[in-house]
Chain A
């Protein structure tokens, strides 16, 4: 019975954050190199957009934790 409770507690965490973990691993391994034929200014614009998205996502998640009593 305890085993069932443990699985019930852990599975939601794994299903929710497991893909994120795998995504982070892929991102860190592959990085975002310049694509074939991509000009410098196009690459910089694409990377800057990615940076903005990541920072906004991180900031929102941090705020949730900081505001929790």
Chain B
């Protein structure tokens, strides 16, 4: 059992590690860079949704034996699902060419929506319940912890692209301005 839990933890931590190693597209076309960046956002909301599904299944499984835990955690999952929906809507707007859509901010709002420790810190009646909760929340916690790193990777990719343009004597832009331009280019 310890090996199993260790494996899960290692996999969960590798999401955080892996998020900083994304491969950037080679093209200098702003539309290509923007599509790849937006895909990073879609990866995040999908990872959060998968984590939420696993977490919801765990709390539902514990509902009968740990009703207070369910009463505490399920509303947190609903809150995260709604924040995730906002990020999904913002990504869709950005993809449609709305340069005012703050999808990066909406993604960051998911990470700051709750404290991950609130999902597993609880006075369980049954010691086994704590283990079920830990396993059930592992994917979600990993996804939430990865968000700041993914944001950083997305911002880094944008800055690198801007620097590339500068190198070729194209006027320097901030990463935010680049995103806005790329969104307009997609209209």
Partner of A59, one of B23, B85, B132: B85
Q: Is B159 an interface residue (CB 8 A)?
A: no
A25 CB, nearest partner CB in chain B, Å: 5
| Consensus secondary structure, chain A interface | helix
A-B contact pairs, 14 of them (CB 8 A): A10-B4, A14-B4, A17-B139, A24-B143, A30-B23, A33-B23, A34-B32, A43-B32, A47-B35, A51-B39, A55-B88, A58-B88, A62-B88, A65-B77
Whether the pair B50, A65 counts as a contact (CB closer than 8 A) is no
Q: Which residues 57-90 of B sit at the A interface, judged by CB distance below 8 A?
A: 57-58, 60-61, 74, 77-78, 81-82, 84-85, 88
B-contacting residues of A (Cβ < 8 Å)?
2-3, 5-7, 9-10, 13-14, 16-18, 20-22, 24-25, 27-34, 40, 43-44, 47-48, 50-51, 54-55, 57-59, 61-66, 68
Count of B interface residues, CB-CB < 8 Å: 63
Which residues on the B side are within 8 Å of A14 (C-beta)?
4, 8, 135
B positions within 8 Å CB-CB of A:
1, 4, 8, 11-12, 14-15, 18-19, 21-27, 29, 31-32, 35-36, 38-40, 42-43, 45-50, 52-54, 56-58, 60-61, 74, 77-78, 81-82, 84-85, 88, 91-92, 95, 127-128, 131-132, 135-136, 138-139, 142-143, 146, 150
